[in-house]
Structure 1
């Protein structure tokens, strides 16, 4: 366990957090899952939630610790995190990843983690999952996505509030990041003021992981004049464009998207000539139907280009089959693979909400 250096807690952290929680509670309900790892950021989030619960006693929290069972001693780290949450007055539970993760470790761990967080949210009756991403995480994400030659959405960074459709459960959850504008140093100062120790994950120093390489390289990038403020200006512009594009896509889908639950069919009239709107509509539909958290921009771009070709008949992306029938695109699961569950009629009935939520419409 690493003890933070004592320092004064940042002014305004609590009040800003409370304002965000007030909005989330009013919008999505009073129950919240906290993604807790035992690290500094998630412990700070848990402590802030404990303080908010004193202010607003209608708020109910459950801290969920995911034991990925990758590192030696991970069960001890999980147990300590649960103990700390309970000492703060927050109910805590530990969920263990049952599938052994040996390849694409960070990506697979993330996938399993969100699956279990969704499970916990459903069992607790919560719609909102609170995540502890901070300001530096946002900067690292922007740099990471730039290196991956991402599209507009990537340059807009992580969302403060994001919808996530769980195809397996047929539910839309809200991922909220109330600390996204708070620096890591500010959170460490807050922990110090409250006498809270935290776990330093050795994986955060492992440069085999791309994000760690970016974190270690960032000081060199800053040294040549590419500061956080310049990066955030790019992000702000991309964010404005994304919001405008999402609004236009919602308007397009409201009149051109047809979901027939009885026939287990989704179709989209091809009346939109704006390539960016078409790409965004395709992405939202395929994400909702496939349950994928992320689709590569290049693949969506390539699919949209193929659909525009005069001889286009069909294509498959993320196990979703897209066929052209009578000037409309028809979406359905690709031919069933072994152990792959197919959406039910009830799940098709929920897809419209999921699609619009993925386009940042939270009236769900």
Structure 2
């Protein structure tokens, strides 16, 4: 993109944003009516017109039922989509809304509805309008939560969700450029006041960005940091893949294998770097557990206990009884006979009367 963050996006630059998607059969554009998503719709429509053959575009607006203005904004998106020659659907998040964790619940509902719309439209991708500014805010949120490398990688340009590819073509584009693009095209957009509601974490962090920018921590720098962390995270994932192969090669012939259990030789496991050991445990627990993804902090605690037990060496195998046995995220982790075993934990017994 242009070094001038306040300049409109050129036709050539806009084509590059979507170039990798030209062979997709169909695309769903997630458009709320705010400046970012309206710019996504306008840029995508202009790009599609430049192609002799290209993907079908369907605009989808999700009405969460949280603001009275949402219905009017959805109708305005439909009007603009129609002017651009695009199909439009409004989907509504129905049912009771949680009293706590509302932003996260709304986000999950939005992605679920978008994936459903994509399948109905025969679309391979859902395009969202996340920008460089959103990337910077996401990094800050995850830093404050103490996330690991994967979390600090922030948002990926492409991610799979519910068997649909989630694409973020504007992830390197500053919001100011999108607004400049819409102003030049004389296209209006909605203003969602919840984006400034300091009752929520993201708007509070957004208000801090000018202060961070004054110290050199602007959105460009933060997004660059997220990209560098993502690069390191990808490298560690490759190392973890190699470690899994190494552990299989060092296994005894009688080591338990199969879809219902993972087993590692303790000595071989202990020889690996700590971050790799941690990821091996995370992968196994998430694959075999039945209570959702494991929390990173709890797996770190488990690894520490395992390391201490493995350090005891032969003394840890007295009488063949497990020297460690605990459940985490619906998985049963044990250490016996010098081997680490991960398997699905038995289902919890329901309490009487429930």
TM-score interval, smaller chain = 0.7 to 0.9
- Structure 1 residues 252 and 9, CA, compared in 2 at 3 Å: closer, same or farther? same
Gaps of 5+ in 2: 1-5, 249-257, 310-322
Q: Which residue of 1 aligns with 2:91?
A: 95
The separation in 1 between residues aligned to 2:293 and 2:65, in whole angstroms, is 24
After superposition, residues 1-364 of structure 1 pair within 5 angstroms as 9-11=8-10, 14-26=11-23, 29-56=24-51, 57-103=53-99, 104-164=101-161, 166=162, 172-228=163-219, 230-232=221-223, 234-253=225-244, 265=260, 267=262, 269=264, 272=269, 273-284=272-283, 296-308=295-307, 310=309, 311-317=323-329, 320-324=330-334, 327=339, 329-332=341-344, 335=347
Q: Distance in 2 between matches of 1:41 and 1:292?
A: 36
Alignment length, in residue pairs? 315
TM-score normalized by the length of structure 1: 0.75
Query: Looking at both structures, which has the greater relative contact order when contacts are Cα pairs under 8 Å and sequence separation is at least 6?
Result: 1
Report the Cα offset of residue 293 of structure 1: 9.6
Higher radius of gyration, 1 or 2: 2
8 Å CA contact retained: 1:163, 1:174: yes
In structure 2, distance between residues paired with 1:227 and 1:323: 43
Distance apart, 1:114 and its partner CA: 1.2
Instruction: Report SS of the residue matched to 2:324.
Output: coil
Mapped contact 1:265–1:332 kept (Cα < 8 A): yes
Call closer, same or farther: CA 1:197–1:151 in 2, change over 3 Å.
Answer: same
Q: Which runs of 5+ in 1 are unaligned?
A: 1-6, 167-171, 258-262, 339-364
The separation in 1 between residues aligned to 2:180 and 2:50, in whole angstroms, is 22
